[in-house]
Amino acid sequence: MGGTCKDWKANTCDAGWKKGLCLGDKYRRCCLRCDSTCNSNENWWDINRDSQCKRASGVCKHNSNRCEGTYQGGKCGGPSERQCCVPTSTGGCPLVVYPQTSYVRGYNGQAIRVHPDFVGSMNKIKSAAVWCDVKVWVTHSFRKQGQPLSGAIVIPASRSNHLVGHAIDMNVQSAHGWCNSKCLQAKSDKGAECFINRIIADGLRWGGNFNRKDPVHIDDYYNRDIGQYDSVFRTVQNQCN
Ligand SMILES: [Zn+2]
């Protein structure tokens, strides 16, 4: 069968999970092997058949995977067990945790926390990674602003999109190796170049094009509308930790 025992909570398995085959706690489960056919199917569905799920701000995956939200059928390509995980928010904090996949992962196991309205952009980032066959390692997503001693939260003039969950910082891993800030700015890696060109073509902003170069940064230009930004800023910074 060729599976691998892994932590179910921290990994997504395209071919699904089987319980009862691994030593350790109940979360250590067998991640079934996704062979080349399985991988190419997954990529094809992602690009051609998953649009309904993406419009619902969800992610398609085998329904034996963890879903911090609810699975919905009929929104994804592939067999009936491949379903749309639509994230739900908890408490007053509207942010969601974007599911880790083999193409988009949090660096050092960190959670990718974004605003629900940025999930569509995360799906674009994932599709670009699939298309260009690179892994995107997210080094930074939502950031909580440092609290002043007075306790009152002041909106900074810079209006960073990280403070509202509408931005990520990343490094790219391609077949040629690791592409860091310097490599991204130079577009010296073909896979990384493909990825950057694709997300720009898909309407996202890349920090390498900013006046103050920030080549690890991607956002959706949410701070273009100051009124909208300030309203979300107050909610998110007050409600989320
Ligand atoms: Zn950034």
* Cα-to-centroid distance, 18 and ligand 1 (Å): 38
What per-residue confidence (pLDDT) applies to 70?
Answer: 86
* Cα-to-centroid distance, 107 and ligand 1 (Å): 14
Q: What is the mean pLDDT of residues 174-185?
A: 96
Segment 86-99, tens digit of pLDDT: 877 556 789 999 99
Tokens 């940064």, located at residue: 217
Instruction: Look at residue 148 and tell me whether its pLDDT is greater than 70.
Output: no
What is the Cα–Cα distance from 238 to 197, expressed in whole angstroms? 36
Topology (CATH) of 89-241: Muramoyl-pentapeptide Carboxypeptidase; domain 2 (3.30.1380)
Instruction: Look at residue 1 and tell me whether its pLDDT is greater than 80.
Output: no
**% pLDDT > 70, the chain:** 96
Residue 157 vs residue 159, higher pLDDT: 159
What per-residue confidence (pLDDT) applies to 89?
Answer: 56
What per-residue confidence (pLDDT) applies to 87?
Answer: 74
* Cα-to-centroid distance, 167 and ligand 1 (Å): 6
Instruction: Look at residue 147 and tell me whether its pLDDT is greater than 90.
Output: no
Q: How many residues does the chain have?
A: 241
* Cα-to-centroid distance, 2 and ligand 1 (Å): 39
Segment 191-241, tens digit of pLDDT: 999 999 999 999 999 999 999 999 999 999 999 999 999 999 999 998 888
Q: What is the DSSP string of 146-185?
A: PPPTT------TT--GGGGT-EEEEEEEETTEEE-HHHHH
* Cα-to-centroid distance, 78 and ligand 1 (Å): 35
- Find out whether 168 and 180 touch, Cβ atoms under 8 Å: no
* Cα-to-centroid distance, 73 and ligand 1 (Å): 35
* Cα-to-centroid distance, 168 and ligand 1 (Å): 6
Average pLDDT, rounded, for the chain: 92
What is the Cα–Cα distance from 54 to 126, expressed in whole angstroms? 11
For the chain, list the strands marked E by DSSP. 4-7, 17-18, 28-31, 59-62, 69-72, 82-87, 96-98, 104-106, 112-114, 135-140, 167-174, 177-179, 205-206, 217-219
* Cα-to-centroid distance, 180 and ligand 1 (Å): 14
What per-residue confidence (pLDDT) applies to 91?
Answer: 63
What per-residue confidence (pLDDT) applies to 86?
Answer: 83
Q: What is the mean pLDDT of residues 19-34?
A: 94
What per-residue confidence (pLDDT) applies to 54?
Answer: 82
* Cα-to-centroid distance, 206 and ligand 1 (Å): 10
Q: What is the mean pLDDT of residues 66-70?
A: 85
What per-residue confidence (pLDDT) applies to 227?
Answer: 94
* Cα-to-centroid distance, 212 and ligand 1 (Å): 12
What per-residue confidence (pLDDT) applies to 103?
Answer: 96
* Cα-to-centroid distance, 216 and ligand 1 (Å): 7
Residues within 5 Å of ion ligand 1, judged at the Cβ atom:
169, 217
* Cα-to-centroid distance, 52 and ligand 1 (Å): 29
